Amino acid sequence: MNILLDSELEPHISDFGVAKLLDESVTSTPSSMVQGTIGYMAPERAFSTKCSKEGDVYAYGIVLLELVTRKKVLDPSFGGEVDIVGWVRSAWIETEDIETIVDPSLVDEFVDSTIKEQVKDVLFVALRCTEREPSARPSMRDVVKQLMVADSRSRSKHA
């Protein structure tokens, strides 16, 4: 997956789930090899070469966590935790304080409680997307709905 920015800094997602579309006869990588980027691959991909929508949802959740925390998926600051998912889950269980998880520049915006709630909503969507069990993850349609609800809730508070 690649997230590209255009000249107006609008994001465009490319290669998202593209592995499902590739014709195996054209690719040079054997289909028996696990393909993907470490940290963005869903846990079940470690034991399977099959791509899935649930795996794409997992990768999207990782991107959301990176945006909210401003940390890399395998950031060295995580210490004993392997990746961003483990670090965020541990931090939330220990503190239940969003300010210990999110990027400090976002915390500066929390004087407006609406922004804090919106960031918290995005964090929870990301955590649902990165559930260990694929069947526990929402569909992308549900992810979009959840993000739209969070956005509309914050807009109604500003109206």
In the chain, where are the structural domains located?
2-158
Query: 2-158 in CATH: which number?
Result: 1.10.510.10
pLDDT at 155 over 80: no
What's the pLDDT score for residue 29? 46
Q: What percent of the chain has pLDDT over 70?
A: 75
What's the pLDDT score for residue 9? 65
**61-79: burial string, b at 16+ Cβ within 10 Å, e else:** bbbbbbbbbebebebeebe
Mean pLDDT of all residues in 131-146: 96
pLDDT at 56 over 50: yes
CA dist., res. 110 & res. 116, Å (int): 5
Contact of 130 with 58, CB cutoff 8 Å: yes
**15-54: burial string, b at 16+ Cβ within 10 Å, e else:** eebebeeeeeeeeeeeeeeeebeebbbbeebeeeeebbeb
Q: pTM, whole model, 2 decimals?
A: 0.77
CA dist., res. 81 & res. 13, Å (int): 28
Mean pLDDT of all residues in 3-23: 62
pLDDT at 30 over 90: no
pLDDT band at 79 (very low <50, low <70, confident <90, very high): confident
* Exposure of 131 in the CB half-sphere (CA atoms within 13 A): 12
Sign of CA dihedral 103, 106, 108, 113: negative
pLDDT at 12 over 90: no
What's the pLDDT score for residue 35? 57
What's the pLDDT score for residue 25? 47
Residue whose pair of structure tokens reads 């889950």 in the numeric block? 89
In terms of Cβ atoms closer than 10 Å to its own Cβ (0-12, 13-18, 19+), residue 14 is exposed
CA dist., res. 36 & res. 12, Å (int): 19
pLDDT at 140 over 90: yes
What's the pLDDT score for residue 41? 82
Strand ranges (E), 26-145: none
CA dist., res. 156 & res. 44, Å (int): 39
CA dist., res. 87 & res. 39, Å (int): 12
pLDDT at 6 over 80: no
Q: What percent of the chain has pLDDT over 90?
A: 45
